[in-house]
Amino acid sequence: MMQHNLPLAKRNLISLAAAIALVLTAILLLLVPALHQKHTLEQQLPALRDQLATLSRAATLKATLDARLAELAALPVPSREETRPLATEQTDQPLLDIREMASQTQVDTLSIQPMLEELDNKTKAMLIHATFQGQTVDLHELLRRILLLPYADHLQSLELTPEGGAARLAIALAISIRR
Asked, for residue 81, whether it belongs to a domain, the answer is no
- Residue 153 DSSP code: E
Does position 119 have pLDDT exceeding 50, yes or no?
no
Rounded to whole angstroms, how far apart are CA atoms 124 and 34? 78
| Domains in the chain, number | 2
**pLDDT value of residue 76:** 60
Domain boundary among 11, 44, 74: 74
Verify that 31 and 100 share a domain, yes or no. Answer: no
Rounded to whole angstroms, how far apart are CA atoms 167 and 135? 6
Q: pLDDT tens for residues 127-161? A: 899 999 999 889 999 999 998 888 888 888 888 88
Backbone angles phi, psi at 132, to 5 degrees: -130, 160
Give residue 39's Cα distance to chain centre: 35
Q: pLDDT tens for residues 97-110? A: 999 999 999 999 99
Domain boundary among 11, 46, 74: 74
Q: What is the mean pLDDT of the chain?
A: 83
Backbone angles phi, psi at 83, to 5 degrees: -85, 135
Q: pLDDT tens for residues 50-84? A: 999 998 988 888 888 888 877 776 666 556 667 78
The CATH number linked to 158 is 3.30.70.60
Mean pLDDT of 42-54: 91
Give residue 92's Cα distance to chain centre: 35
